[in-house]
Amino acid sequence: MPTLEQKQDYFAGHFNAMASPCEILIDTTDEVIARQITSIAENEAKRIEHKLSRYRENNIIHQINSGNKVTVDDETARLLDYADKLFELSDGLFDITAGVLRRAWQFDGSNNVPEQADIDFLLPLVGWKKIQWENPDITLPAGMEIDLGGIGKEYAVDRTAKLVQLFFDKQDHNQQQVSVLLNFGGDIAVLTPKNHPGRSWTIGIDTGIDGDAVVGSKNNTHTLIALTAGAVATSGDSRRFLIKDDIRYGHILDPRTGWPVKNAPASVTVATETCTDAGMLSTLALLHGSEAETFLNEQGVDHWLRW
């Protein structure tokens, strides 16, 4: 069950989903409204987790990964089409079949870097183009699997934002919409009341335990973002990495080599209109390694990098 905490002039709802702490900030002193919004958020986050988690054995992802031909529902089809688009736009860098490499890589902060032979054994099981996908039917070759974790949490944020907006749209016109911040494990979206500027929520960028400076497209020193609308997502290795012989290996893997991307930033934060786009751009930037800043500049989005 979610918990609800009253602050000075707003409520904070809390629950866990998708292996992450989730927080909902609601700019109201109306506890009924706050509980309703928190319930909407928890229900949608857990629905998507149950449906798309690769760790469950009773959902559509498990059926697909079994290797049999599966006819998917419209929601799953849209996500697979999106993954296909990202694969093409990234020249194969964004590949939802690369999750199989986790059998070799365990990013637990230790020095357990796998042998090349272990990676070579798995690479034949990586490659989106090896999959038969013709909407709405998908078939995976034996041993391959897909993992939508790279887009699932951001998608959940955007879906929840739509449901919260729908909740307000259905309210009596005398009930004013309030500003709401959705935070699913660091993937964030803010809904602003219509025809009203709303609250400016202050978001802190995780700079890592070493305290390195954050650099960005607008300000090279600030680590706080004031957000009144839109979304923010961060990708990085501050919590998932290996260190061996003074070399740090981040968890973002190049699906073509099976090894962590070289010379990538420690973290990338992107602000855009939707959380799905912010998460996609932050991940693609990491996959561009030393060219991450150039890539983001070309996209024309606000961003913050830590090297």
CATH number, residue 218: 3.10.520.10
CB-CB neighbours of 198 under 10 Å: 18
Q: Give dist(CA 187, CA 189) in Å, integer.
A: 7
> Residue 291: its pLDDT value, please?
93
Domain boundary among 147, 179, 213: 147
Give the pLDDT confidence score for residue 14 in this predicted structure: 97
**By the 8 A CB rule, do 190 and 181 touch?**
yes
Residue 260 lies in a domain: yes
Q: What is the pLDDT of residue 198?
A: 64
Residue 21 located in a structural domain: no
What is the 8-class DSSP label of residue 86? H
State whether 211 and 118 are in the same domain.
no
* Residues 137, 214 within the same domain: no
Q: Is residue 37 part of a domain?
A: no
Per the domain annotation, does 40 fall within a domain? no
Q: Which residues of the chain have pLDDT under 50?
A: 209-222
Check if the beta carbon of residue 23 is closer than 8 Å to that of residue 31.
Answer: no
Within a domain: residue 66?
yes
Judge if 208 and 290 occupy the same domain: yes
Cis status of the peptide bond prior to 2, with omega within 30 of 0: no
Supply the pLDDT for residue 218.
Answer: 37
Q: Do 233 and 307 belong to one domain? A: yes
Q: Is 154 helix (H, G, I), strand (E, B) or coil?
A: helix
Last residue of a domain, one of 115, 132, 147: 147
106: containing domain: 60-147
- The per-residue pLDDT for 257 is 94
Burial of 5 (0-12, 13-18, 19+ CB in 10 A): exposed
User: Do residues 219 and 305 both lie within one domain?
Assistant: yes
Q: 38 in a domain, yes or no?
A: no
Burial (0-12, 13-18, 19+ Cβ within 10 Å), 154: buried
Q: Find out whether 72 and 138 touch, Cβ atoms under 8 Å.
A: yes
Query: Structurally, how many domains does the chain consist of?
Result: 2
Contacts of 253 (CB under 8 A, 6+ apart): 98, 101, 105, 259, 260, 261
Query: Are residue 225 and residue 128 in the same domain, yes or no?
Result: no
**pLDDT tens digit sequence for 73-116:** 999 999 999 999 999 989 999 999 999 998 998 887 777 889 99
One domain for residues 205 and 304 = yes
Mean pLDDT across the chain? 87
What's the confidence (pLDDT) of residue 150? 86
Is residue 228 in a domain? yes
Q: Say which DSSP state 140 is in.
A: P
Query: Same domain, yes or no, for 141 and 220?
Result: no
- E-strand ranges in the chain read 3-6, 11-17, 20-26, 70-71, 132-134, 137-139, 180-184, 187-191, 201-204, 215-216, 224-227, 230-236, 241-244, 247-250, 267-272, 302-306
The confidence score (pLDDT) of residue 220 equals 41
Which amino acid appears at position 231 of this protein?
A
Burial of 132 (0-12, 13-18, 19+ CB in 10 A): exposed
Final residue in a domain of this structure, among 127, 147, 167: 147
* Residue positions counted in the chain: 307
The per-residue b/e assignment along 159-195, b for 16 or more CB within 10 angstroms, e otherwise, is bbbeebeebbeeeeeeeebbbbbbbbbbbbbbbbbee
CATH number of the domain that residue 83 is part of? 1.10.3980.10
pTM, two decimal places: 0.89
**Closest alpha carbon to 237 in 262, 256, 217, 274:** 262
Residue 171 lies in a domain: no
